[in-house]
Copies of this chain bind each other. A is one copy, B any other.
Amino acid sequence: MLASWNEGPARSAIEDYLGRIDDVPPADRIAVVDNDGTLWCEKPEYAQLLFLLAEAAKQPDIAAALGAAKEHGLAAVGAVLMKVHAGITVDEFTAIATRWFAEARHPRFGVPFDALAYVPMLELLELLRAHEFRVFIVSGGGVEFVRAVSERMYGVTPDDVVGSAVQTTFERRDGRVVLVREAKLLGSPNEGPPKVVNIQAHIGARPIVAIGNSAGDREMLEYAHTGDRPSLCVVIDHDDAEREYAYAGEAATNPDAEPISATAAAQGWTTVSMRDDWSRIFAG
């Protein structure tokens, strides 16, 4: 099933692991997988940021506020971007995101963003499912943005996506119960320790497979690693500037965090070189 994986230590580590879990009951076969930079391309910018900027440009008030906020740094920009979809229902948000995915094109590859899943990762998800794993996405991205594509891109239903979320409010509009998005985050961004907190809140069990690519995935991988069951922790290394991008995976919310490559080496986790371990990256 790992047709796009070259022979090598990463592929062997995965196959060896799956040969060592006969004693793990299917109920405990839980895999958590980061999204940006792990399942799909996150460069030159997060797709969600490009989406928000495109939508902000359509709203004159917000576009003006964004211009002013840029002089005051990232936090100010973030606060304005939170307003882009405030006041609309969650269903309206999904419709807007779905339209953006249909229309927008990646600046370098020229294809829709949902065509930029990593084929070797899709193969790995299938292999995990063939071994009775349930696969959850645990993303720093907005949960409703990821849900808009998770089923058709990855075969992950909306209930199996955990992400950052905005607060929503119960309302009755035109005789219909709806949920309205607020301009406020619900709790913390889903990165670092909150990934572990949210895994428990949503999944209610410790994963045994965890896959990520940035320092923001460290605690999630450590959570799987320090359980009682045999675990598999995988870090995707973006070292292929020719076919994708070459960069270190920094945590979006904590630039001082230890590089994930250093953690992976110290913990003995499996590092995947996109350049060496993958014979193919995208479907296109």
Contact = CB atoms under 8 A, between A and B. Distances in A.
Instruction: Give the number of times this chain occurs in the complex, counting copies.
Output: 2
Given A27-B157, A203-B159, A226 B176 contact: yes
A2 to B, nearest CB: 26
Contacts of A266: none
B147 A170 contact: no
Contacts of A27: 151, 157
A92 B168 CA distance: 32
B226 A158 contact: no
A198 to B, nearest CB: 10
A221 B239 CA distance: 51
A160 interface: yes
A86 to B, nearest CB: 16
Chain A contact patch, size range = 35 or more
Contacts of A91: 206
Given A90-B200, A177-B196, A179-B196, A159 B222 contact: no
Contact of A177 (B158, B161, B204, B222): B222
Nearest to A173: B226
B158 A203 contact: yes
Contacts of A170: 193-194, 196-197, 219
Interface string A166-196: 0011100001110100000010000001101
A168 B186 contact: no
A223 B90 CA distance: 13
| Max chain B Cβ within 10 angstroms of own Cβ: one of A143, A161, A194, A204 | A204
B168 A204 contact: no
A144 interface: yes
Interface in A128-168: 134, 136, 143-144, 147, 151, 157-161, 165, 168
A27 to B, nearest CB: 7
Interface of A: 27, 90-91, 134, 136, 143-144, 147, 151, 157-161, 165, 168-170, 175-177, 179, 186, 193-194, 196-197, 200-206, 219, 222-223, 225-226
